[in-house]
A and B are shown apart, each in its own frame.
Chain A
Amino acid sequence: MARFILGRLIGGIVILWLVSVLAFVLFFVVPKALGNNPAVLFAGRSPDPATIAGVTKKLGLDRSYVDQYWDFLRGVFVGRHFDSGSNRSWCPAPCLGYSFRNDQPVWSEIVDALPVTASLSIGAAVLFLVVGVSTGVFSAVRRGGLFDRIAAAVSLAGVSLPVYFTGLLLLLLVSYKWHIIDNVHYVDFTHNPALWAWNLIPAWLVLSLLYTANYQRLTRASMIETLGEDYVRTARAKGLRERTVIGKHALRPALTPIVTIFGLDLGVLFGGAILTEHTFGFRGLGAISIDAVNTQDLPVTMGVTLFAAFFIILANVLVDVTYAFIDPRVRPS
């Protein structure tokens, strides 16, 4: 068990390192290769020659790629200085980049935006897991029934609807036509938990619709498989109540593949959250990354991308480890 967890952790670290190399190549090597000066990209909108020279110096863009990568990597762990003559900027660890445009480390912007994206993603995940799994179980038990057929149709529509369309549609109804929630905006949880939840409800519904459909289909397929197993027949033959048979004997093994898929879906969920927050006008990680593209503040885009990739990979390692606890077959002896 310990060896398995250690193995996954080492695997996770290797992948994190690969992502950092990939990101470095994407943000420092690719622009140069395509004839874009990275200093211009990092400096912000239409910089003057002095700013460009300053940024080149600060980032050490005139040095070799190996040196640049080393500084970049060291910044993540111990922080780094960006020096150019008298102008010194300190970027504490974890330094994912420094926005020369706003003259602050990217990390502080990420920390501000994170609660929005996290509230949206976590709430939606709880909603789609609960609704998706329970409707999936119901569909599987009453296979071919009215509920199953309606659920199949709703699922199909759900996977075919883009969140930025359903989001606008829901806003139109809830906010403009029915005036249930006027002026949907993000309220901080610490400020007022009730308003936080109330304003997030439309966004949670929209974001979870797509995944509810997926998890309904998955749970249904997985349940149908386990319901056909011999041990379920045995449990029934013992005279156990149907509820116990379904809830304990059939559902538990059916959930294991769902945990794996949930881990894999986290990245996609993140992408969905970005689209949803854009539609609802919440200032989450996606919003700051897109704003950064429009204002040409590349360090922010880079920081958000790195942060999201690191976060997702760590979450995946955690899911793998959890999986080993749930399903003893995964543990290599």
Chain B
Amino acid sequence: MTAPPGEMMVESVTAPAVVPTEGRSLWRSGWIRLRRDKPAMISGTFLILLALIAIFAPVIVALLGHPPNEPHYDLLDPNTATPRGRFGGMSWHYLLGVEPVNGRDIFSRTVYGARVSLLVALLATATAVIIGTVLGMLAGYLGGLWDTIIARLMDLLLSVPSVLFAIAIVAVIPNKAFGLSGSSLRIGVLVFVIGIFAWPYIGRIVRGQVLSLREREFIEASRSLGAGTFTVMFRELLPNVAAPVLVYATLLIPTNILNEAALSYLGVGVRPPTASWGDSLAVASHGWYSIEPIFMLAPGLAIFATVLAFNLLGDGLRDAFDPRGGR
């Protein structure tokens, strides 16, 4: 999987002389290894495109579709409430057809769904990374009681069924809280719920790394020069755990996408009419998918492609930056 050192040397000899062999940083050699990983590079490109689609959703929908919440009853058969025509009423005007019951443009809803999915997954991952890195470093570096408490807390959070707790948390939060309401509150709650159950994944990695770094000479040197706990943690340890954190954060994003979609599918995530892939699947699951599979294929394949791309990119990053981790 990973390029052995010998191969790397050959590469640096044949490479243009601009790149000096010595002083190549971890990030630079990682990038060189990553560039050779075709699936990871293709996935990365796909994800950049997807991010652009999410950001420019209003523009894309204005050009190629209809507003995501606009009903089109004229496209539905009044007796069955399903779209007229084949494949969910697919046409040049409605690229992926329209939904049953209210005739909303499936293409537009899938494009807008990318926004919720990426936004929630990225923010939840960021939350998990911040909490996981800080607590993981505290546990690993301070040890003793701190370590016991934090490690036990991580075990606990990893073992309880997070979906049920997420349902419960959503159930007790009123329609207005923390100065937020409507879909911004729902997104905030989702980020919190997903992030709070995801940080132990990062925390464990960081704790393990710090445990092995703690006894190294550079930490001792820094301490003997009078550096305090926080200086050692943020100046010395943090740069050294950054690479694995990046790798596992990338691998956490697809899990978080699946969790967001799952909660929206169960009806406790983003609230309709805000478009989300999970909600689109929920709409399809009310018997409609058996009449026209496109209702479920559009959001389902969107989730699958995105999650697969993040997994492939994450695997590539792991092979590039953390050669001994994983498999």
Contact = CB atoms under 8 A, between A and B. Distances in A.
A27 interface: yes
Interface residues of A, dominant DSSP:
helix
Contacts of A305: 164-165, 167-168
Contacts of B152: 11, 15
A298 interface: yes
A267 B158 contact: yes
A301 B177 contact: no
A264 B171 contact: no
B311 A168 contact: no
B172 interface: yes
Nearest to A279: B285
A19 interface: yes
B159 A264 contact: yes
Contacts of B9: none
B161 A289 contact: no
Interface stretch (B89-97, B136-144, B238-246, B296-304): B296-304
Interface string B125-157: 000000000000000000000000000100110
A308 B164 contact: yes
Contacts of A41: 171-172
Contact of A18 (B156, B177, B293): B156
Contacts of A264: 158-159
A35 B162 CA distance: 25
B289 interface: yes
A254 to B, nearest CB: 14
A75 interface: no
A34 B173 contact: yes
Interface residues of B, dominant DSSP:
helix
Instruction: Select the residue from A162, A275, A289, A305 with max chain B CB neighbours within 10 A.
Output: A162
B174 A162 contact: no
Nearest to A18: B156
Nearest to B289: A168
B112 interface: no
A220 B293 CA distance: 36
A46 B174 CA distance: 14
A69 B312 CA distance: 47
Nearest to B305: A160
A278 B327 contact: no
Contact of B160 (A220, A267, A278): A267
Contacts of A279: 285
A316 B159 contact: yes
A266 B311 contact: no
Contacts of A266: 159
Contacts of A165: 281, 296, 300, 303-304
Interface in A158-177: 159-162, 164-165, 168-169, 171-172, 175-176
A160 B304 contact: yes
B254 interface: yes
A96 interface: no
Contact of B262 (A15, A275, A308): A275
B40 to A, nearest CB: 12
Contact of A34 (B164, B167, B170, B174): B174
B169 interface: yes
B232 interface: no
Contacts of B156: 15, 18-19, 313
Given A31-B172, A161-B304, A309 B161 contact: yes
A180 interface: no
A-B CB proximity, top 9 nearest:
A271-B163, A165-B300, A160-B308, A270-B161, A176-B290, A160-B307, A36-B174, A267-B161, A31-B172
Interface of A: 11, 15, 18-19, 26-27, 30-31, 34-36, 41, 156-157, 159-162, 164-165, 168-169, 171-172, 175-176, 217, 220-221, 263-264, 266-268, 270-271, 274-275, 278-279, 285-286, 289-290, 292-294, 298, 301-302, 304-305, 308-309, 312-313, 316
Interface of B: 152, 155-156, 158-165, 167-174, 176-177, 254, 258, 261-262, 265-268, 278, 281, 284-285, 289-290, 293, 296, 300, 303-304, 307-308, 311-312, 326-327
11 contacts: A19-B156, A26-B172, A34-B177, A156-B312, A160-B308, A221-B326, A221-B327, A267-B160, A274-B163, A289-B167, A293-B167
